[in-house]
Amino acid sequence: MSGARLLGGSGPAATALMAGLAGASALGALALLESGQRGLVLAAVIAVFWLFSWRLTVNLAALEPVGRAGRTVLGILIPLVFGVTLLFLWEFIVRGLAVPSVLLPAPSDIGVRIANSLPILWADFVQTYLKAVVAGYVLGCGSGFLVAVLIDRSPFLKRGLLPIGNLVSALPIVGVAPIMVMWFGFDWPSKAAVVVVMTFFPMLVNTVAGLNAAGAMERDLMRTYGASSSQSLVKLRLPAALPFIFNALKINSTLALIGAIVAEFFGTPIVGMGFRISAEIGRMNTDMVWAEIAVAALAGSLTYGLLSVAERAATFWHPSYRKA
Amino acid sequence: MTSAPTRIAEPGAGIGSAGPLRRLGRRMVEGRTVPILTVVAAILAIWYLAAIGMNWQTETDKLVRAGEAYGIVDTIAATWSAERPILPAPHQIVAEIWKSTVLVKPTSPRSLLFHAWVTLSSTLLGFVIGTALGVALAVGILHSRTLDRSLMPWIITSQTIPILAIAPMIIVVLNAVGVQGLLPKAIISTYLSFFPVAVGMVKGLRSPDAMLLDLMHTYSASRPQILAKLRWPASMPFLFTSMKVAVAAALVGAIVGELPTGAVAGLGARLLAGSYYGQTIQIWSALVAAAVMAGILVWLVGLGERISLKRMGERS
């Protein structure tokens, strides 16, 4: 196979070649930046890097792997390559154009900052995430779920609460943050309270919808078994509601982090992710802000990923997981 | 309505013999009006009781300090009309909203309408940009397998990032470069509102089934033609559903975007100023204003949905 065909081709060999070329051009651009080289040469090398890694992504996307493991690996690999490409481009552009780090720090600077301030980041994470978010999330989701199960017995309450719950879900609830800070003080309980209010209604609305999701046929079957309403709740309607409940859990995992961080803008002890962000932005330490955002992003994505795994395990019977 | 003999044969005849008023009453009980009103009344009652409980301590202290004899009625009245209550009673909030919308000129910074307009303008700008961006991304993802597999996971990941955390930074950084006013807040609204539109539109543009797509192929329609004549119309219900989510998210973005700017104008600034000076009634009235605005915006999108779907020939 000739080199030209390899460059235009899309097989595994061509893909590996692309990966090598993209990596080499990235290293080349980094070397040029280190030696202080600017201008057209650098721009050309960066353009070549972009071309190669785009081809790499296209090639990877065109692959049709056999087996589930291959598909899973590829499903992670493609976005990863894309993300790493963007990170490199960010680095090249910031350093090539000498963008002041107050405006936009390079990814490498942010990495160094994260490595140097691990204790602070950990303390903030504990304060905001492990205390406020987790407590508020558990309380908010738990009470939303319980209220949904309780009002499920009364069609009258359901008809009254559902439209109001839907309306409240669309409201800018973060706005209650200053009130909660006034009521519960500066420390984490006030943030947890904001999280409770934010997560309650999505959980309520989704659980009520989920409890109605079981089909009429299945309900009739439960009735022919002579199942009591609590038996039919536990054995039929709660399992049928699980996809909806997990949907609410996923939505709430993001909302909870947002609520806790924004609530810290309204008053906080001198620790916490929201406090750090607003304090460091005041001192123009943009790299520290980005470090906190990286931690928040990591925490958010990990929580989301864990919830997806739990959902997969709990709702394995759902049609959306059936093999195509 | 006259009871002509032929009507007996109609479906449902005889059921409505109770008269129009009774029928209306039954429809309200079995529909949603009465349940909703009941729940709202219950919330208001709980609110008033909570206002008594939460303001009890401070108000009794005040009455004791005043040194006059007071009964339980006086105390309850005091908890519902405190100057800086811990929880204001609903009528106090309504009075404050009335005072700051009708009695003050809308151009004055003391008017709630002025602040609402500031927030509304950046919400709408961000919403429009976000919707356009979301649609553009969805079209790109639809037509490029590479984008679908590389960009789509990141679009979803982008929402697990608590993006509002970046809001202060975007505002301050853009402020440092000289971009001020509407645009920085609108950018935050854009970020929050593009996601539901992008995801909803990818789903919507893919919603036409294989039969319809095959029909377009037999017409030898080009991809832009398929997009314009089949996929785009088919995605309208999805677009409007996601726009409802997007407009609510855009409002949240605009409000949070106003927090770090030094509390100059906007509902978010009003919240922050209220929390600095302990003006609880002001905070609550700003919150109610934001809630009303969110309700109106979502309702307007819903109205647009009904009108355009009706014009496209959908029957409910």
Q: What does the pLDDT look like over B140-180, one tens digit per residue? A: 888 887 777 777 777 777 776 666 767 777 777 777 777 77
B193-210 tens-digit pLDDT: 888 888 888 888 888 888
Q: Say which residue, B130 or B60, is predicted with more confidence.
A: B130
For chain B, what is the domain count? 2
pLDDT score for B19: 66
Q: Is A300 in Cβ contact with B161 (below 8 Å)?
A: yes
Mean pLDDT, range A94-112, rounded to an integer: 82
Tokens representing residue B151 in the block: 């960009």
Answer yes or no: do B128 and B71 share one domain: no
Q: What is the CATH number of the domain that holds B248?
A: 1.10.3720.10
State whether residue A56 sits within 8 Å of chain B by CB: no
Assigned domain for B105 exists: no
In chain A, what residues touch B272 (CB-CB under 8 Å)? 178, 266
**Rg, Å, chain B Cα set:** 27
State whether residue A61 sits within 8 Å of chain B by CB: yes
- Residue B166 neighbours by CB under 8 Å, 6+ apart: A289, A293, B188, B191
Tokens representing residue A42 in the block: 């650098």
Q: Which of B28, B32, B146 to mutate to test the interface with A (most CBs of A within 10 A)?
A: B146
Which helix (H) or strand (E) segment is B62 a member of? helix B33-66
Assigned domain for B173 exists: yes
State whether residue A236 sits within 8 Å of chain B by CB: no
Q: What span, in angstroms and rounded, lies between the C-alpha atoms of B245 and B70?
A: 51
Which helix (H) or strand (E) segment is B113 a member of? helix B112-143
Q: Which residue of A has its CA nearest to B162?
A: A258
Q: What span, in angstroms and rounded, lies between the C-alpha atoms of B316 and B313?
A: 10
Asked whether residue B211 carries a pLDDT value surpassing 50, the answer given is yes
Q: Is A102 in Cβ contact with B256 (below 8 Å)?
A: no
**How would you class A226 by CB atoms within 10 Å of its CB: exposed for 0-12, middle for 13-18, buried for 19 or more?**
exposed
State whether residue B198 sits within 8 Å of chain A by CB: no
Q: Is B291 in Cβ contact with A172 (below 8 Å)?
A: yes
Q: What span, in angstroms and rounded, lies between the C-alpha atoms of B24 and B14?
A: 16
Candidate from B148, B162, B256 with C-beta closest to A296: B162
pLDDT score for B6: 44
Asked whether residue A292 carries a pLDDT value surpassing 80, the answer given is yes
Answer yes or no: do B55 and B126 share one domain: no
State whether residue A23 sits within 8 Å of chain B by CB: no
Q: What span, in angstroms and rounded, lies between the C-alpha atoms of B191 and B164?
A: 9
Assigned domain for B12 exists: no
In chain B, what residues touch A75 (CB-CB under 8 Å)? 149, 153
Q: Which domain holds residue B71?
A: 21-87
Q: Is B160 in Cβ contact with A300 (below 8 Å)?
A: yes
Q: Is B165 in Cβ contact with A277 (below 8 Å)?
A: yes
Candidate from A175, A257, A267 with C-beta closest to B271: A175
Q: Is A281 in Cβ contact with B172 (below 8 Å)?
A: yes
Answer yes or no: do B57 and B157 share one domain: no
Q: Is B294 in Cβ contact with A278 (below 8 Å)?
A: no
Assigned domain for B95 exists: no
Answer yes or no: do B251 and B160 share one domain: yes
pLDDT score for A138: 94
Assigned domain for B242 exists: yes
Residue A215's CB: how many other CB atoms inside 10 A? 10
Under DSSP, the state recorded for A35 is T
Answer yes or no: do B130 and B227 share one domain: yes
Asked whether residue B9 carries a pLDDT value surpassing 70, the answer given is no
The pair phi, psi for residue B46, each rounded to 5°, is -60, -40
* Residue B3 pLDDT class (50, 70, 90 cuts): very low
Mean pLDDT, range B312-316, rounded to an integer: 65
> Is the ipTM beyond the 0.85 threshold?
no
Of A139, A26, A153, A148, which Cα lies nearest the Cα of A92? A26
Q: What span, in angstroms and rounded, lies between the C-alpha atoms of A170 and B161?
A: 20
Q: Is B255 in Cβ contact with A172 (below 8 Å)?
A: yes
| Cβ atoms B266, B186 nearer than 8 A | no
> Which pTM was predicted?
0.78
pLDDT score for B131: 93
Mean pLDDT, range B105-114, rounded to an integer: 75
Q: Which residue has the tokens 């390079």?
A: A106
Q: What span, in angstroms and rounded, lies between the C-alpha atoms of B247 and B128?
A: 9
pLDDT score for A129: 87
H helical segments located in chain A: 3-8, 12-34, 40-62, 68-96, 107-116, 118-125, 134-151, 155-169, 177-184, 188-211, 216-224, 229-232, 238-264, 273-282, 286-314
**Rg, Å, chain A Cα set:** 25
Candidate from B40, B255, B295 with C-beta closest to A175: B255
State whether residue B127 sits within 8 Å of chain A by CB: no
Last residue of a domain, one of B87, B120, B141: B87
Assigned domain for B8 exists: no
Q: Is A293 in Cβ contact with B166 (below 8 Å)?
A: yes
Answer yes or no: do B166 and B213 share one domain: yes
Residue B1 to chain A, least CA–CA distance (Å): 31
Answer yes or no: do B53 and B177 share one domain: no
Interface of A with B in 83-102 (CB under 8 A): 83, 102
| % residues pLDDT > 90 (chain B) | 6
State whether residue B64 sits within 8 Å of chain A by CB: no
In chain A, what residues touch B177 (CB-CB under 8 Å)? 103
| Cβ atoms A90, A106 nearer than 8 A | yes
pLDDT score for A8: 58
Q: Which residue of A has its CA nearest to B31?
A: A159
Residue A313 to chain B, least CA–CA distance (Å): 21
State whether residue B132 sits within 8 Å of chain A by CB: no
Answer yes or no: do B140 and B222 share one domain: yes
State whether residue B165 sits within 8 Å of chain A by CB: yes
State whether residue A72 sits within 8 Å of chain B by CB: no
Answer yes or no: do B129 and B202 share one domain: yes
Answer yes or no: do B256 and B170 share one domain: yes
Interface of A with B in 243-272 (CB under 8 A): 253-254, 257-258, 261-262, 265-267
B252-305 tens-digit pLDDT: 888 888 876 655 778 888 888 877 777 788 888 888 888 888 888 988 998 988
State whether residue A184 sits within 8 Å of chain B by CB: no
Answer yes or no: do B44 and B131 share one domain: no
The DSSP secondary structure of A59-73, one letter per residue, reads HHHH---SSHHHHHH
Assigned domain for B14 exists: no
Residue B113 to chain A, least CA–CA distance (Å): 17
Q: Which of B29, B38, B149, B166 to mutate to test the interface with A (most CBs of A within 10 A)?
A: B149
Answer yes or no: do B80 and B135 share one domain: no
Q: Is A253 in Cβ contact with B165 (below 8 Å)?
A: no
Q: Which of A58, A129, A265 to mutate to test the interface with B (most CBs of B within 10 A)?
A: A265
Assigned domain for B182 exists: yes
Asked whether residue A136 carries a pLDDT value surpassing 90, the answer given is yes
